[in-house]
Structure 1
Amino acid sequence: MKNKYFPTVLSLYINYFVHGMGVIILSQNMDALATKWSTNSAGVAWVISALGIGRLIVLLVSGKLSDKFGRKPFVILGMITYLAYFVGILLSPNIQIAFVFGILAGIANSFLDAGTYPALMESYPKAKGTMNVLIKAFISGGQFLLPLIVAFIVSNNMWYGYSFILCIVILVINGIFIAKVPFPPHTAEEAAKEGLEASVIEFKKQPKWYIDGIVFVVYGYISQATFYLVSQWLTKYGLSVVQMGELASRSLMSYYSVGSLACVFISSFLQQKGVKPRALIVVYTFISMITLGAVYLFPSPTVTSIGAFAIGFSAAGGVMQLGLTLMSEIYPYGKGTVTGIFYTSGSIASFTIPVITGIMSTTSIASIMGFDAVIAVIGFVCGIIIAIRHKQIVKEATR
């Protein structure tokens, strides 16, 4: 808290609290939106897929531009674009127009990522992994709160749009604040003047793009796909497959978010005690693989509820951010560019997963969870490769 960029960091995290709600707000209001747009769950899933397209359009470019022009412009631009998304969805009369605003949400997310992740690592260079993982605490906070809000709105026969209005209000207030706070320098020369560049990376040998770059790109896709699929379909899975009630099925997302929050703080504690991010990645991807297999094979209320917590813990508690941290250590120059590359692969998942699962939902909701279990197996394999390669390449990483 003595760091002069602490207010800046806090405001950046608040953006991701809203982002956590924004990621699932369409799926949580799926029935109301389907009725408004005269479509079905697959139609709403199609709109959700637009978020991935939006991220693909600008993420890589915005990451490079962030390295050139700084982080603050892209954070503010992301907030403005997110506001347009929330307002636009409320005003959209059909899925075609909603799809356009869904693209805006993806663009907004890309702008935020391009500015936020580098800014966090530059604000606290000795605690990059912890700062990146803490983003998940705020994302999970939003994902924990929103299902409860939507459940309250539905049970009281209120207008579904109030959940969107809440996001708009928070963004406006935070936008006024963030416009006034300073951001850390984004170049090595300026950072050295402030004494911020305290991280030292030494290599045993140079990384190879055809091995390390590719495995990080694949991992970016898989880690995003694993938790994104669950966040979009867990409530529907509880209702349709497990035969849970309305409130109980919506509560699954809250269990998922609590698990994610728990993992954030446990991961931060373990890293402070010297446990390396590469070890955590292997453990978490293994837990995801086992849990998703159990939820698919044994779809009971008890298994699904416990599984929701465990999946949130292992797949959505910052394992993707840990991957970005490790990639930024293997490729330490150009944090915005690294962020853009890593999350571009994740954005491909944000686009393709809703399309694939939307098609699958027309025949079997249960098969969606089996599909996620297969993805988790691939994620575990990638996690092992990343851990081995990081150990072989990085001699010393002082955070």
Structure 2
Amino acid sequence: MLNSTQTRSKALIILLSALVAFGPLSIDMYLPSLPSIALDLSTNVAAVQKTITIFLIGFSVGMLVYGPLSDRYGRKRLLMIGMLIYVFATLGCIFAHQIEHLQIFRLLQALGGASASVLSRALVRDLFSNADIPKILSVMHIITMIATLVAPLLGALIVEYAHWSGIFIFLLVYSLLCMCWSQVSIQAPKPTQAPTGILQNYKVVLSNRHAWGFMLSNSFSFGAMFAYITASSFVFIHYYGFSAQQYAYLFAGNIFSIIIFTAINGRLLNRFGAYTLLKAMAIISCSAGMYLAVITLLKLESPWYLIAGLAVFVGVTGSIGANSMANLLKLLPQQAGTASGISVSMQFAMGAVLGYVVSLFFVNNHPASMNVVICLSACLCLFSLLLTRGFKEV
């Protein structure tokens, strides 16, 4: 049987996982509702799609603010402020009757929700020991991937059987529950460092060579994942002739691949350090990327060659993300919020850049540009770790 301390720790891990899932739930649940919103608000799909871009911008900006502020004023206070903004904005989304209003409230929703996404990671550093950090981040990543998998299905069900505002009602209830749970359960320690400004915290993080290595490695891995997301539906549906349902199964399979690799990573952390495993996973990622480039050069057209390479490449992204973040938080414990904010914001920015690069060179739905971008990014993910030479694992 679990003792009370173990039970509280497990409950706290579930809560932090629920907080980090704010991003995928707020984005992915919303996707199936776009046509319905366009029709109901008498606007075009492009205007509704703009709300996604607005949300991603607000999400990234919010992370860059909450992180360093939390290093100075404490995590819990900033978390509660951000979640209050999210709740208010979600109410606005429910009652929005014009697309302009929805865009404004989605921006506010992103600015509020960013607090949960970035501070949940920083709280891991505050509340758990160095040995537990990579294991807990791995568990959180698995739960986030499950949320990513379930969110669009749940959103589609809500749109099919209810009004699109039902998605925001769900998010409102979810955020209120998380806010109340956080208020009761999170006892974050007050900052132990002397008060410093945002710019000083940024200077400490950005002047650290090892930090750059971990952040860049994570960003290139995550960015290549976005390159896959951007191009894969066109590749498999239009080039290889998969049905939409078959592609959905394939995408779900890749999510499960992430879950499996991340679970293996969690097990291996009992024997190896997060830094050792980060290097190992980056080597696997680079090997998978090079494999994808080789099958492109050799013109091996069978989709199964592509599926096998993608399963490995996509699968290790979760482990790379968890291990790089764990090492980053160990490296800069006093600037954990700032480091977490910069790292997560960088990975979203890299995703946007690499997704755009793939689209620039995308020809006749052929997988070549996707495979080449993934290969280059996976190699840069590994080479970025050269900046971490001399890092001593705690």
Same fold (TM over 0.5): yes
Distance in 1 (CA, whole Å) between partners of 2:217 and 2:72 is 27
Distance in 2 (CA, whole Å) between partners of 1:360 and 1:92 is 35
1:285 aligns with 2:285: yes
1:366 aligns with 2:365: yes
Distance in 2 (CA, whole Å) between partners of 1:161 and 1:306 is 39
Distance in 2 (CA, whole Å) between partners of 1:96 and 1:298 is 48
Give the secondary structure class of the aligned counterpart of 2:220. helix
Cα deviation, 1:292-327, whole Å, max 9, x if unaligned, reads: 658987786656665664454122x24223222223
The answer to whether the 8 Å contact 2:32/2:152 transfers is yes
Alignment partner for residue 380 of structure 2, among 376, 379, 382? 382
Larger CA deviation: 159-168 vs 12-21: 159-168
Cα deviation, 1:49-103, whole Å, max 9, x if unaligned, reads: 2233213433223111111121112333343444455555555556554443443
Distance in 2 (CA, whole Å) between partners of 1:50 and 1:77 is 21
* Deviation at residue 274 of structure 1 after TM alignment: 1.0
Mapping for residues 63-78 of structure 1, pairs under 5 Å = 63-78=67-82
Q: Give unmatched runs, 5+ long, in structure 1.
A: 190-206
* Deviation at residue 146 of structure 1 after TM alignment: 2.4
* Deviation at residue 210 of structure 1 after TM alignment: 7.6
The answer to whether the 8 Å contact 2:59/2:114 transfers is yes
The answer to whether the 8 Å contact 1:49/1:352 transfers is no
Mapping for residues 101-250 of structure 1, pairs under 5 Å = 101-125=105-129, 126-150=131-155, 159-188=163-192, 209=207, 211-231=209-229, 234-235=232-233, 238-250=236-248
Cα deviation, 1:194-219, whole Å, max 9, x if unaligned, reads: xxxxxxxxxxxxx9948545444544
Backbone CA RMSD of aligned residues: 3.9
Opposite residue 265 of structure 1, the aligned amino acid is A
TM-score, normalised by the number of residues in structure 2 = 0.76
Q: Which residue of 2 aligns with 1:196?
A: none
Between the two proteins, the alignment pairs up a number of residues equal to 374
Indicate how the Cα distance of structure 1 residues 87 and 293 shifts in structure 2: closer, same or farther if over 3 A, else same: farther
Distance in 2 (CA, whole Å) between partners of 1:28 and 1:123 is 37
Give the secondary structure class of the aligned counterpart of 1:180. helix
The answer to whether the 8 Å contact 1:63/1:114 transfers is yes
* Deviation at residue 333 of structure 1 after TM alignment: 3.3
Opposite residue 222 of structure 1, the aligned amino acid is F
Indicate how the Cα distance of structure 1 residues 77 and 227 shifts in structure 2: closer, same or farther if over 3 A, else same: farther
Indicate how the Cα distance of structure 1 residues 151 and 341 shifts in structure 2: closer, same or farther if over 3 A, else same: closer
Q: Which residue of 1 aligns with 2:265?
A: 267
Larger CA deviation: 45-54 vs 90-99: 90-99
* Deviation at residue 13 of structure 1 after TM alignment: 1.0
* Deviation at residue 159 of structure 1 after TM alignment: 4.5
Give the secondary structure class of the aligned counterpart of 2:134. helix
Which 4+ runs in 1 deviate beyond 6 A? 294-301
The answer to whether the 8 Å contact 1:144/1:254 transfers is yes
Opposite residue 365 of structure 2, the aligned amino acid is A
1:335 aligns with 2:348: no
Indicate how the Cα distance of structure 1 residues 284 and 143 shifts in structure 2: closer, same or farther if over 3 A, else same: farther
Distance in 1 (CA, whole Å) between partners of 2:147 and 2:54 is 21
Indicate how the Cα distance of structure 1 residues 286 and 164 shifts in structure 2: closer, same or farther if over 3 A, else same: farther
Give the secondary structure class of the aligned counterpart of 1:244. coil
Identity of aligned residues (%): 13
Cα deviation, 1:129-179, whole Å, max 9, x if unaligned, reads: 22222221111111121243355567x676555444433333322322222
The answer to whether the 8 Å contact 1:241/1:299 transfers is no
Distance in 1 (CA, whole Å) between partners of 2:165 and 2:306 is 29
Distance in 2 (CA, whole Å) between partners of 1:148 and 1:82 is 23
Distance in 1 (CA, whole Å) between partners of 2:280 and 2:332 is 20
* Deviation at residue 39 of structure 1 after TM alignment: 3.1
The answer to whether the 8 Å contact 1:11/1:174 transfers is yes
Q: Give unmatched runs, 5+ long, in structure 2.
A: 194-204
Distance in 2 (CA, whole Å) between partners of 1:330 and 1:73 is 24
